[in-house]
Amino acid sequence: MKFAIALLSGAQDPAARSALEFARAVMASGHSINRLFFYRDAVQLASSLGVQPQDESDLAAEWRQFIQQHELDAVVCIAAALRRGVLDEAEAKRWERIGSNTGAPWVLSGLGQWVDAIQRADRAVTFGN
């Protein structure tokens, strides 16, 4: 079974951890994920600027590792990302900002990527509010 998973909540929201655990269970069960879509505050997981206190887990790093390990398509909504200061090299240059704070495995793209993922998946699951 192919899943499309959207996450709307940032790292501080329990939904972000639940989404990761669900994605891990999907892969462990032999299913596949055709796309992960990060929207609203979830785009902050793609930023390389976040620093977690030493006594807390780094959920952004866990997501990055999971995506790389399984070679997943991880799309970050570009409109939500720009509003929250999450920029790849192209957008940093386009908006004349000092530098980027995201890159592989994350890809900035539009909401149409989520629509495409839904059409190609057997199940679409959304985490967050």
Give catalytic residue positions.
77
Any idea what DSSP says for residue 43? G
Tokens 């990060």 label which residue?
Answer: 38
Long-range CB contact pairs, 98-103, < 8 A, 24+: 101/47, 101/48, 101/49, 102/46, 102/47, 102/48, 102/76, 103/48
